[in-house]
């Protein structure tokens, strides 16, 4: 049994302007993560470190958001291997309403 989780990436127009990347030859790549921001300094001394810091004690449960709306419709898309993950980029911008009444433009899904 194989399970894939996809997360919705909300298009904020800042593609290509990330604070870090996974390109070994880049000044923003893994060899430099610990230098980019002081809170990422552990990336210089640890193994298999990433600037994404997901700590259980920092997780906040918001119980009044309601149910996650899942209303999937067929759509044309491209599957892209980015080396560190797989991304599905939609051909046309889709709009989804995930929680409550907020509508989001979806440009890609990634794992």
Catalytic residue at 84? Answer: yes
Could you give the CA distance from residue 68 to residue 13 in angstroms, rounded to a whole number? 24
Are residues 18 and 28 in contact, defined by beta-carbon separation less than 8 angstroms?
yes
Catalytic residue among 3, 84, 104, 110, which? 84
Task: Report which of 103, 101, 104, 80 is spatially closest to residue 91, judged by C-alpha positions.
Answer: 80
Q: Is 97 helix (H, G, I), strand (E, B) or coil?
A: strand
Strand residues in the chain grouped as ranges (E)? 7-10, 77-81, 86-97, 103-110
Active site residue ranges: 84
């Amino acid at each position: 049994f194989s399970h894939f989780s996809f997360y919705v990436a909300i298009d904020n127009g800042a593609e290509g302007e990330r604070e870090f990347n996974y390109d070994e030859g880049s000044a923003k790549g893994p060899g430099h993560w610990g230098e980019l921001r002081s809170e990422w300094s552990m990336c210089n001394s640890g193994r298999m470190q990433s600037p994404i810091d997901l700590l259980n004690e920092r997780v906040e449960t918001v119980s009044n958001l309601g149910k996650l709306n899942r209303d999937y419709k067929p759509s044309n898309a491209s599957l892209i291997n980015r080396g560190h993950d797989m991304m599905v980029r939609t051909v046309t911008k889709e709009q989804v309403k995930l929680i409550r009444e907020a509508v989001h433009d979806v440009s890609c899904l990634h794992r």
